[in-house]
Amino acid sequence: MLILTRKRNESIIIDDNIEVVVIEAEDGRVKLGINAPKSVKVHRKEVYESIISENKAAAQQQVDVAEFKRQFKQSKQPK
């Protein structure tokens, strides 16, 4: 982890095209501004983790549906 000290209106650049600017810092809170191309997804960590969790649940449901269809087809085959 890279640890930096920045003051208000100072910034860092990530990968030549993402700029993170310190907008405000007071009372133990920091307000950041992020300039990034529209193709770059930027989320708060808790939102990102929620998205990942929902995607995993959806993928699991798709697997369950596929398994249900397979079993249904097998049950329809003559014995």
- Tokens coding 74: 């097998």
Cβ atoms within 10 Å of 51's Cβ, excluding its own: 12
Whether this model's pTM surpasses 0.75: no
DSSP per-residue codes, 38-67: TTS----HHHHHHHHHHHHHHHHHHHHHHH
DSSP 29: E
Domain boundaries, the chain: 7-38, 43-79
> Does residue 79 carry a pLDDT above 70?
no
> Does residue 76 carry a pLDDT above 80?
no
Q: Which backbone phi and psi does 34 adopt, to 5 degrees?
A: -125, 120
The amino acid present at 24, given as its one-letter code, is E
Tens of pLDDT, residues 28-61 = 999 999 999 999 999 999 999 999 999 988 887 7
First to last CA, the chain: 62
Tens of pLDDT, residues 53-71 = 999 888 877 667 777 788 8
